[in-house]
Amino acid sequence: MMERDEHLLEMLEHLLMMKNECSCSIFSECGLSDMTVKQIAYLKVINEQGDVTFSRLAEITKNSKPTITEMVNKFVRMECVYREPSRDDGRILYIRLTDKGRKIAKAEEDALRRVIERMIDSLDEHELDLLIGILQKVR
């Protein structure tokens, strides 16, 4: 029993390592290797929200407006976001992702897709169906 547990642990670690390698590859493609998990999470929130203001982002992330301003300034320097004035009220600024910012925000999902591509390349149809069935059982 213990041997099976260890083998399963080893295989899951291998899958996670593959995903991390794919994520690192995506960050390297963006010219960034030093993004923090927190920064990536903020870019994901901006991506998910669409029209997000500084106040709204502060509310969602439970940070102060000055903290959000500092973070956005850093993202602007990294060329991940830009500020866009509202068409209706020029006092309101929206935080928008650049292509680079979108790519980083979606890096985790894209990394998982790359892992899936590797699985598809390695397994035959029957093995893929079996893997899907097994993974659906895990909750």
Tell me: the pLDDT tens digits for 61-76? 999 999 999 999 999 9
Tokens, residue 58? 């502060």
* Residue 110 · residue 26 · CB < 8 Å: yes
Instruction: Name the residue range of residue 115's domain.
Output: 2-137
The proportion of the chain whose per-residue pLDDT surpasses 70, expressed as a percent, equals 98
* Residue 27 · residue 35 · CB < 8 Å: yes
* Residue 100 · residue 47 · CB < 8 Å: no
Number of domains in the chain: 1
Tokens, residue 109? 């999902």
Burial of residue 129, with CB atoms counted within 10 A of its CB: 0-12 exposed, 13-18 middle, 19 or more buried? exposed
> Each residue of 85-124: pLDDT tens digit?
988 888 899 999 999 999 988 988 888 899 999 999 999 9
pLDDT, residue 66, reads 94
| Closest among 51, 26, 28, 34 to 105, alpha carbons compared | 26
**CATH at residue 30:** 1.10.10.10
Mean pLDDT of the chain: 89
